[in-house]
Structure 1
Amino acid sequence: MKETSDQQTRRRWVTLAEVLAVAGVVIAGLTLYNSWQERRDSASTKIEERTAAARDRTRFELRGVPASGHSSILLTRDEAHPLGDVRISFPTALGVAPQDAVGHTIEADWFERPLREQTDGGEDDVTGRLPVLVDYSFMADDKPIARHAIYDIVWKTEGQLLRGRRVTLIDFRLREAGGSQRRIDALWARDKPKPPVK
């Protein structure tokens, strides 16, 4: 039995309707997948941003500047990272016990005499650097964080009439993160000014 033209037309419409329905399902699926992918990427980006922000909040470098008169180093304050305890350890050869910088100040009096004794025999006017191990804590997001690093106290001696040499402090510089007593001993042995060979 032959199909009439009406039946053929209806069958074409059914087939076209089926194709459009399948296409609609595919488009809806792709749209749903795209939306899910965007949400996932957005969540991943937010996690990365939060992690980076947390890392930035815990990033802090201790700094110091000479006080007027150059007889001490003032450790600078940072409102976002309030300083806690600070302990300064000196090279063993100086014979200076570790000192707590209670007022966040490093005093030349702690090491001036042994530094002069260790550098006697050379010129009166000398500039050098004294490696120290600094253990300190600070607050970040209301949590205490402990760090230690080796810093150089940059110093200068100047001859004084009838009074020997005077030590002045001229800078406080980060030398390396981490560190140990053995490391500052080795640095001092290497960097200590040597008296001239006679």
Structure 2
Amino acid sequence: MSEDCDHADPTIKTEAAAQAEARSAEAAAIRRRWITLGEALAVVAVVISALTLWNSWSERADTEATNRAEAQRASARAQTLVLTATRSSERMLALKPVSADQSVQAQSISFPKALGLAPVQTTGEPRVEAGWFADALKKARDNAGMPDDSRGDERLPVAITTQFLADGRTHEDIAIYDVGYTIAGRLLGGHTVALRGVSLVSHAKSGGAQATLDARWAKLLPSR
């Protein structure tokens, strides 16, 4: 009996050792899986954090880019001058910017060379007066063989150089405008020029404004 027990003990011990080893291996595998899962979760957390940071930076960058673009557009609008006119009388047009954010400081109004007129300067009260050019215009119309009385509105091109304030800064604009007018004969008073309004033709460069003005004059009032 004793010999049988002695013979069985090694087998039992071997099986027990094998089971213990298997349990140990399984426990080690479980620990490795947990370590691997933990590492994966850590990586995921880092990735999420990085994506969140990038998204926040991207949104901020987009917002800043949008704000810069809007500021540039606003600045461009502020520097682009368009004048409009209201009739103070038939002999004078009061000029003002279309934009309320602009304020005219001074202007120089040039006429076609064919009229033989010097530029007119204004300060603080932008305007066009018929008396500046009426006699020269009537003479030019007569030389061109145009009718004494106009039919509808006629156009006199002028170059207007304007110094104006916008966004607290001084800017300069040079543009060609058509001054609308009518001319009619009176029995005792001769012909009278009545002003109607102004219309923007184009913006111009400083060196080429007079040539552009003269070309438009030749188009509107060709010589006979």
Identify whether the pair has TM-score above 0.5, normalized to the shorter chain.
yes
Decide whether aligned partners of structure 1 residues 46 and 105 sit closer, same or farther in structure 2, where only a CA change above 3 A counts.
closer
Q: What 5-or-longer segments of structure 1 have no aligned partner?
A: none
| Counterpart among 68, 81, 98 of residue 119 in structure 2 | 98
**2:132 corresponds to which residue?**
110
Decide whether the 8 Å contact of 1:119 with 1:193 is kept in 2. no
Cα shift at 1:150 = 0.4
1:28 aligns with 2:49: yes
Distance between the aligned counterparts of 1:185 and 1:26, measured in 2? 69
1:150 aligns with 2:176: yes
**1:71 corresponds to which residue?**
91
Decide whether the 8 Å contact of 1:122 with 1:194 is kept in 2. no
Q: Which amino acid aligns with 1:76?
A: K
Decide whether aligned partners of structure 1 residues 48 and 6 sit closer, same or farther in structure 2, where only a CA change above 3 A counts.
same
Decide whether aligned partners of structure 1 residues 58 and 12 sit closer, same or farther in structure 2, where only a CA change above 3 A counts.
same
Cα shift at 1:180 = 1.5
**1:159 corresponds to which residue?**
185
**2:65 corresponds to which residue?**
44
Cα shift at 1:154 = 1.2
The farther-off stretch of 126-135 and 35-44 is: 35-44
Greater relative contact order (Cα < 8 A, sep 6+)? 1
Cα shift at 1:110 = 0.9
- TM superposition outliers: structure 1 runs of 4+ over 3 Å: 5-8
Decide whether aligned partners of structure 1 residues 34 and 194 sit closer, same or farther in structure 2, where only a CA change above 3 A counts.
same
| Counterpart among 18, 21, 38 of residue 17 in structure 1 | 38
What per-residue deviation string (whole Å, max 9, x for no partner) do you get for residues 27-81 of structure 1? 222222222222222222222222222223333312222222x111111266521
How many aligned residue pairs are there? Answer: 194
Structure with greater Cα Rg: 2
Decide whether aligned partners of structure 1 residues 183 and 8 sit closer, same or farther in structure 2, where only a CA change above 3 A counts.
closer
Decide whether aligned partners of structure 1 residues 145 and 166 sit closer, same or farther in structure 2, where only a CA change above 3 A counts.
same
